[in-house]
Amino acid sequence: MTLPTRRIGPFTVSAIGLGCMNLSHGYEPFPAEEDAARLLNRALDLGVTFLDTAAIYGDGANERLIGKAVMHRRREFTLASKCGLGVHDGKRGLDGRPEAVVSTLDGALARLGTDHIDLYYLHRLDRNVPIEDSVGALVRAKEAGKIGAIGLSEMSAATIRRAHAVHPIAAIQTEYSPWVRNPEVAVLDACRELGIGFVAFSPVARGFLAGAVRDDRYSGSDIRAVMPRFLEPQLSRNLALFDRFRAVAQAAGCTPAQLAIGWVLARGENIVPIPGTRSIAHLEEDVAAAGIAIDPAALAAVDAIFTPGAVAGRRYPPAMQAQVDTELLPEELEDA
């Protein structure tokens, strides 16, 4: 199958990519390896040509999964992975030192079973290392042929500009959906100005805008179990917003997940959403959003629901927020 395409740096990719994290990280229970492999191959069959992973996902397990499952179809997709956020001495943390970038990249190449990753991101900003040093290591990796283009994840417009001065940045990856609007503060403008592609992770709000969350009884390993907006008393307020959102989707003739993805697609031609899922049925639903024309009135209705300050609770708890460089919204600054 063929999907509409968009440009991310030097790459032409399907307008909707696949975030592979869910298959190994963040949302248990994880599928069996054969089921995960089946989903990855189904994504390629559906015309998805952009797969996104990272070293931190399952502490390398996600990269190994992709290496086993789809590298025999390597010519069919653009491969993206990330460094800088990982497990160091048994603890999750940041390490943007050039030597750590090189070590993580070499490990990723081995896990993926390849000698080249198309798009390689610095996953988070290590505030103890100048961004110029981290990007410099990625430039040298590009010159060595190990990677094809450089990206940054969850970084501010100021950091993006500093990095771009060292070497052109191909893509910025940040969470973006109707209920996470932080990129609108400055990052989207910086991307448009500098000609950088934007990759939107969690476009269905970690399942919330697909109707997957109705209470806060999560497993202990579910990353939403510590995120304020997914917990009571904030969750009940947010579920009321979802009920309105679901009604808009029904009137528009699509599912809530498709409305969320369509909303992201409508925000700019340089934006590629990468929803993730453990379900082939949900994968097919998500990918089908590329062929649905969302009426502008429905998009306006979405914006009327998720007005500034409407969502209750912060995106991340303090410990996770400390690892994120992306700008806060005005209402988040007031709450700081």
Calpha distance 235→230 (Å, rounded): 5
Name the pLDDT band for 252 (thresholds 50, 70, 90): very high
Task: Give rounded-to-5 percent helix, strand, coil for the chain.
Answer: 45, 15, 40
The per-residue pLDDT for range 50-80, each reduced to its tens digit, is 999 999 999 999 999 999 999 999 999 999 9
Please report the pLDDT score of residue 325 as a whole number.
97
Report if residue 213 sits inside a domain. Answer: no
Residue 120, phi then psi, degrees to nearest 5: -125, 120
8-state DSSP, 115? S
Catalytically annotated residues: 57
Q: Is residue 167 part of a domain?
A: yes
Is residue 87 scored above 90 in pLDDT? no
pLDDT at 172 exceeding the cut of 70? yes
Residue 336's pLDDT is 58
Mean pLDDT of all residues belonging to the chain = 96
Judge whether 156 and 182 are in contact, CB under 8 Å: no
**CATH code of the domain in which 43 resides:** 3.20.20.100
Structural domain contains residue 288 = yes
SS3 state of residue 44: helix
Is 51 inside a domain boundary? yes
Domains contained in the chain, number = 1
The rounded radius of gyration (Å) of the Cα atoms in the chain is 19
* Residue 141 banded pLDDT, cuts 50, 70, 90: very high
Range 209-234 average pLDDT: 95
Q: Stretch 303-318: mean pLDDT, rounded?
A: 96
Query: Is the pLDDT score of 215 beyond 90?
Result: yes
pLDDT at 91 over 80: no
**Within a domain: residue 120?**
yes
Is the per-residue pLDDT at 267 higher than 70?
Answer: yes
- Our measurement of the distance from residue 153's CA atom to the centroid of its chain's CA atoms, rounded to an integer in Å, reads 8
Inside any domain, residue 151: yes
Structure-token match 């969502």, residue found: 311
Q: Which domain does 143 fall in, by range?
A: 5-208+256-294
- Residue 46 belongs to some domain of the structure: yes
CA distance 83 to 305: 36
For residue 119, being part of any structural domain is answered with yes
